[in-house]
Chains A and B, each alone.
Chain A
């Protein structure tokens, strides 16, 4: 009873606090100075049509590197928590095989899903989307594969190789920016190209390809761990 009253009191107080914030909120009508700078000079400086990508990959590129690191640590944590202890056997379960519809559709859908994921992260500097979204789409393809046949085993060598190479490549591209251009993760050591073309915006598409592959392989590894 006391517990319930405390919870209610906390929620009412927080709700009151939130209400004050909403009532006092005045929507701004112009961009603040930092955003103004990003929007005004982002396309000219970095050659990226998608300004969110410019902020994420270049202006705040170090944050994104940290974000990829957090994702890596949580994937490693999931792997540690759900690993098989020595002597622990996988319980033998008689699974009902998945229906023929799912089994047939997977052969048709999986390549399409992968192509969509790759399209999303390659075009991250031009259209909505980017490395994280594209990687999530790739992982959703893997999830469909695991749903259709839970006994599928991903090739761990390939998954780990892709994950390591893309993580390493991301840092290498960052260092190349430090050596040949203005700073760490600066994308201008490659030619900026024509604005709005696929091969433009310097190293930005390369960084997003690495991020997309890394996120896709990490999420796939997590999904496979969760399956057991």
Chain B
């Protein structure tokens, strides 16, 4: 398993970095006490998963799934990468954006109510 960009190991490289970003995000979500930092952790996990999906769809030596001067229409099946992961990632980015915006507005409300962004001070749901 060589880690050269040239070879077919590019997806392995992106997969590895994607998993590392996911782990960093999970660590941030579990260990931080500031709500904004937890949201940043969530965003990192989200981004890491996008990297994973794109890496799975990559096929070595192929180009983007858009038929133009660079891609022969008749031989497109042999020349382009998988279009479905790209479409899925597009969906995932938009959903992630919506969820992040909602979380940030919750954070603003919590700050207005408690005067603090620390998760320990949110005692409403504690039994």
Contacts and interface: CB of A to CB of B under 8 A. Distances in A.
Q: Do A and B come from one complex?
A: yes
Interface of A: 4, 7, 10-11, 14-15, 18-19, 21-22, 25, 27-32, 34-36, 38-40, 43, 49-52, 54-56, 60, 63-64, 67, 70-71, 73-75, 77-78, 81-82, 126-128, 130, 132, 195-196, 215, 222, 225-226
28 contacts: A7-B31, A10-B26, A11-B30, A19-B19, A22-B12, A25-B11, A30-B59, A35-B83, A38-B83, A40-B76, A49-B66, A50-B66, A50-B67, A51-B66, A51-B83, A52-B65, A60-B87, A67-B95, A75-B98, A81-B105, A81-B106, A81-B109, A126-B66, A126-B68, A132-B94, A195-B67, A196-B67, A226-B104
Contacts of A40: 76-77
B59 A29 contact: yes
Contacts of B19: 15, 18-19, 21-22
Nearest to A48: B67
A11 B83 contact: no
Contacts, number: 136
Contacts of B64: 128
A71 B90 contact: no
Interface SS of chain B:
helix
B98 to A, nearest CB: 3
A49 B64 CA distance: 11
A50 B84 CA distance: 12
